[in-house]
Amino acid sequence: MSYKKLEIWKQAKELSILIHQMTSRLPNFEQFEEGSQIRRSSKSVCINIVEGYGRRFYKNEFIRFIIFAIDSNDETMVHLEILFETGSLTDRVQFEILKRKIETLGRMLNKFMFAVKHHHMKFD
């Protein structure tokens, strides 16, 4: 099996692309400040899923990288909220869609971590 078959990876990648597209419409000064931060944190979710999957034979390492992905997902949410609350992201519909996707991915990551903790070797 490949990490590309993991639903959490697919969702994280989709979110990262949507975040990237959203930041291209931010004011110029935000593209290099908060925009850069949210792009990096959303990409970090994908990357940590891949790195964890690469270490899937080592349960504690696998869990550690899933925790990193959860942390990066939470960071992405904070950046999104800051962009919206400061008025740099003005599209409420886009904000709500991204917020729901981040929340859904967070729940998925937590369930995945629970599954790894309790059914570790089924992820081969």
Taking only the tens of pLDDT, the chain with its 124 residues reads 799 999 999 999 999 999 999 999 999 999 889 999 999 999 999 999 999 999 999 999 999 999 999 999 999 999 999 999 999 999 999 999 999 999 999 999 999 999 999 887 665 5
* Helix locations, the chain, DSSP H: 7-23, 28-31, 34-54, 59-85, 92-118
- Give the 3-state secondary structure of residue 73: helix
Domains in the chain: boundaries: 3-123
The pTM of the full predicted model, rounded to 2 decimals, is 0.92
- Phi/psi of residue 26, nearest 5 degrees: -75, 160
CATH 1.10.357.10 for domain 3-123, yes or no, is no
